[in-house]
């Protein structure tokens, strides 16, 4: 593991440089499953941030006491504990979120982002860095999930749902469809349900991955170019 | 190296499991009442939303509720129906029936359907197709094509399974409704043949 990285770097890497979904391709299963409505992306992302932060903290604290052959079962128990507690809290205080996310909350247990970060980071770093890593990775996951689900919902249903229960609103992007001429015979907006189905999810995710790869590569190239330039002038 | 560790630290897993169990049961213990109240409140709210003029909800059993107005007259029934034909397994619906046993409205409440697709069965354009229909297998769609012939609507696009599951759950609710004896002033249970429907569900 790299040493001497600053706390800020540990936090920010999950959002861009080592984004769990777009760069490390972790946690694709919940990503594709819940990203059909904007609000689902946001609430799933927040749940993952909470679980990831706490499990990273605890795993980093107990790492010295857990023998290497028992680490996976131990980590899974820690993660499952936090997910179960989260599920109980959501059931008690946010019944509407519980209704819309249903099965996906318990499935956070087997979300490979959380086990992946426990294994690759929290079990080798101190608690502070592990917490920062957890928050950063969680935010990165949330951003991707929200972007993906917003794109899919706009293309597939013509709306942006930002509503839980009676709170919030549903934005209708029908006027945008009409502006672009994407209407059916009755003059109503005609969204492509394809984008709400799994193939559409893969397609949008692929485009997002391509975009971030292109960005990262072109930035790297430009940086190298500038560096060489500076070196040349220096000589 | 691993062997040494195994002998020394195996008890750690037991400790972690024990602490985990303690923590979860603690949380559950303190929030149990809250969760139950929330569940009950949502049920009552739903029932009220179907019958705004209702005064009394008489529970016949845990799935069937008689709705009465302030003069103690029966104005309808609320029945919980279920089906295992959903895309993600079981779905539960709450169904409001009017006085004659026709569907007044329904809502899918517990399910594992895809958010944004299967959950669209709760949208008004889909629910409208069922309103006013009797909850009988002769009247409700049992396959994809029967939606248009029997109800005049299309199944929710991208969610044929969920749409069909709703139809089956409504029939299930209908069976629960007609099976009960509601007293003298009610003729609902007369037209119902129980064995017929049991065979129907076994064969499907």
Q: Which of B8, B88, B158 sits opposite A103 (nearest CB)?
A: B88
* B27–chain A nearest CA distance, Å: 7
The predicted model gives B111-136 an average pLDDT of 83
A134 pLDDT band (50/70/90 cuts)? very high
If you average pLDDT over every residue of chain B, what do you get? 81
Q: How far apart are CA B94 and CA B91, in angstroms?
A: 10
The pLDDT assigned to B3 comes to 46
The pLDDT assigned to B123 comes to 84
The predicted model gives B171-177 an average pLDDT of 86
pLDDT tens per residue, range B24-51:
999 999 999 998 898 888 888 888 888 8
Q: Is residue A92 less than 8 Å (CB to CB) from chain B?
A: yes
Cβ pair B116:A33 closer than 8 A: no
pLDDT tens per residue, range B57-100:
888 877 888 888 888 888 888 998 888 888 888 888 999 998 88
Contact A75/A59 with Cβ under 8 angstroms?
yes
Domain map of chain B by residue range? 2-48, 53-203
Place of tokens 């999810």: A201
Tell me the two tokens of residue A102: 């249903």
For residue B111, the number of C-alpha atoms closer than 13 Å in the C-beta half-sphere is 30
Q: At what angle do helices A38-62 and A127-157 cross, to 10 degrees?
A: 160
pLDDT at B186 over 70: no
Residue B3 with chain A: CB contacts under 8 Å = none
Q: How far apart are CA B101 and CA B62, in angstroms?
A: 18
Report the share of chain B in percent with pLDDT over 90. Answer: 16
Q: Which pTM was predicted?
A: 0.75
Contact B135/B113 with Cβ under 8 angstroms?
no
Q: How far apart are CA B110 and CA B18, in angstroms?
A: 32
The pLDDT assigned to B197 comes to 59
Residue A197 with chain B: CB contacts under 8 Å = 117, 158
Residue A78 with chain B: CB contacts under 8 Å = 16, 20
A4-13, A143-152, B56-65, B189-198, range with greatest mean pLDDT = A143-152
**Which chain B residues touch A if contact means CB-CB below 8 Å?**
2, 5-6, 8-10, 12-13, 16-17, 20, 23-24, 27-28, 31, 34-35, 38-39, 42, 88, 109, 111-112, 114-117, 119, 157-158
pLDDT at B146 over 60: yes
The more confident residue out of A179 and A58 is A58
Q: How many CB atoms lie within 10 A of CB A181?
A: 7
pLDDT at B199 over 90: no
């Amino acid at each position: 593991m790299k040493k001497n990285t600053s706390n800020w770097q540990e936090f920010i890497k999950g959002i861009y440089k080592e984004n769990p979904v777009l760069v490390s391709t972790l946690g694709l299963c919940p990503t594709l499953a819940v990203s059909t409505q904007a609000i689902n992306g946001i609430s799933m992302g927040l749940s993952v941030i909470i679980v990831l932060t706490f499990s990273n903290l605890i795993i980093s604290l107990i790492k010295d006491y857990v023998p290497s052959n028992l680490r996976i079962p131990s980590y899974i128990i820690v993660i499952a504990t936090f997910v179960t507690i989260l599920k109980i809290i959501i059931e008690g205080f946010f019944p509407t979120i519980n209704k819309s996310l249903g099965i996906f909350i318990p499935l956070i247990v087997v979300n490979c982002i959380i086990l992946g970060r426990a294994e690759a980071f929290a079990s080798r770093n101190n608690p502070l860095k592990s917490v920062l890593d957890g928050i950063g990775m969680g935010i990165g996951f949330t951003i991707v999930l929200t972007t993906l689900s917003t794109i899919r919902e706009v293309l597939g249903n013509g709306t942006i749902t930002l509503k839980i229960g009676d709170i919030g609103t549903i934005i209708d992007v029908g006027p945008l469809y009409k502006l672009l001429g994407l209407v059916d015979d009755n003059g109503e907006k005609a969204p492509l349900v394809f984008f709400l189905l799994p193939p559409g999810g893969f397609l949008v995710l692929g485009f997002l991955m391509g975009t971030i790869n292109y960005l990262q590569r072109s930035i790297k190239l430009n940086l190298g170019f500038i560096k060489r330039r500076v070196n040349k002038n220096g000589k | 190296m691993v062997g040494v560790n195994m002998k020394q630290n195996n008890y750690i897993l037991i400790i972690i499991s024990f602490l985990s169990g303690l923590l979860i049961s603690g949380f559950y213990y303190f929030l149990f009442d809250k969760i139950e109240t929330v569940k009950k409140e949502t049920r009552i709210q739903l029932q009220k939303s179907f019958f705004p003029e209702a005064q009394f909800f008489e529970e016949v059993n845990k799935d069937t509720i008689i709705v009465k107005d302030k003069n103690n007259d029966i104005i309808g029934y609320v029945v919980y129906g279920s089906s295992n034909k959903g895309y993600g397994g079981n779905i539960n619906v709450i169904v409001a029936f009017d006085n004659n046993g026709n569907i007044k409205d329904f809502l899918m409440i517990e399910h594992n359907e895809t958010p944004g697709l299967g959950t669209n069965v709760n949208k008004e354009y889909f629910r409208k197709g069922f309103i006013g229909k009797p909850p009988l297998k002769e009247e409700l769609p049992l396959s994809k094509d029967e939606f248009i012939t029997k109800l005049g609507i299309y199944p929710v696009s991208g969610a044929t399974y969920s749409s069909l599951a709703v139809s089956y759950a409504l029939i299930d609710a209908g069976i629960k409704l007609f099976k009960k004896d509601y007293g003298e002033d009610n003729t609902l249970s007369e037209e119902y043949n129980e064995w017929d429907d049991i065979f129907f569900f076994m064969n499907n």
